Amino acid sequence: MKNIIGSLLLLLGSAFTIGCGGGGVNVPGIPNPGSGPVVPRVGHVVVVVEENHSYPFVIGAGSPMTFLNSLANQHALATNYFANFHPSIDNYFMMTAGQPLAFTQGDGFPGPSNVDNIARELIAANKTWKSYAEDLPSAGWTGGDSPDGKYLKHHNPFAYFTDVIGSPQASNLVPFTQFVTDLNNGQLPNFSFIVPNARDDAHDCPDGTQTCADSLKLSTADAWLQNNIQPLLNNSTFQQDGLLVIVFDESFDADTVNGGGHVAMVLTGTKVKTNFKSTTLYQHQSLLRMFVEATGASAFPGFSGVAPDMAEFFNQ
């Protein structure tokens, strides 16, 4: 059992009721107050999740991720950000549901889960969302990995939620190719969750193996970001009211500090401070809190309502 679950559960102990239909627990959503020193509201939040690398390999002059470092140097960087768990899947659930769901089942967790999540709270607030997953077998796909192993279901948390499975909301699970179309047509949703495939997010080597140098994994992921995310940064609508977050789900397995190890998290957007580096300790539940505040979603799922706020990254 992961070593920080006990301390997390103590935060909201009396509020829990065991959930039905999947892993996790139902934590009553804490309403979004919409006031005080919170993250400012924006029209478009875009999140890109990268894979399995430690902060010192990603950030710094010697890193092969030159594009990501240029964003970190010009905009905002969390220097004391830590993933919650190993392996990957519960980090994705912390970003979207504010709690772990897989526990000892790990990346093989089958779902579904009916816990509160960011999709549910966006829908409740009449906000739009999509998950753009590279090499998703088809729009609306909630099944398993693609046969070639490029698309990995456990990197796409929305495919596990009962709010999505078997409902009209499943149409918001789309291949990444749709992102370019939506961006060019001015149709990006309020919340976009981008899932590069396993060869483009630094999880695997370009040939799908694990035998190449980490520098090749990272340089490939960085080239993907530059090719696919720079057009977003150049988009006039995004420049007016957008927020981009690039975050790694977890560190190397050997790095277990604060559960999932030290990882990089970079922000950019018109309301984000420039040349800013935070030394505050954050984890993925704070990122989810920021998503709720920035989009105006109805409530904070799971532990995001009691997580440290990330308002320091923004011009107030």
Collapsing DSSP states into helix, strand and coil, what is residue 286?
A: helix
Using an 8 Å Cβ cutoff, are 129 and 170 in contact?
Answer: no
100 vs 118: CA distance, rounded Å: 14
The overall longest dimension of the chain from CA atoms, in Å, is 50
Nearest 5°: the CA angle 200, 238, 68 is 35
- For the chain (316 residues), the mean pLDDT of every run of 10, in chain order, is 42 35 55 66 98 98 97 98 98 98 96 98 98 98 98 98 98 98 98 98 98 98 98 97 98 97 98 98 98 97 97 94
In this predicted structure, what is the pLDDT of residue 24?
59
Could you give the C-alpha distances from 203 to 136, 208, 274, in angstroms and in order?
A: 16, 9, 29
pTM comes to: 0.92
Dihedral angle over CA of 91, 95, 96, 101, nearest 10: 30
What range does the domain containing 21 cover? 5-313
Q: Is the dihedral of CA 278, 72, 130, 158 positive or negative?
A: negative
Quick one: pLDDT at residue 303?
Answer: 97
| Alpha helices, H only, 264-309 | 284-295
The structure tokens listed for 304 are 């995001």
Q: What are phi and psi of 231, to 5 degrees?
A: -60, -35
Domain count, the chain: 1
CA distances from 294 to 40, 41, 122, 313 (A): 6, 4, 11, 12
315 CB burial (10 A radius; 0-12, 13-18, 19+):
exposed
**Domain at 259, CATH number:** 3.40.720.10
**Distance (Å, whole) CA 146 – CA 121:** 29
pLDDT at res. 28: 53
Residue 10, pLDDT score: 33
Does an H or E element contain 246, and which? strand 242-248
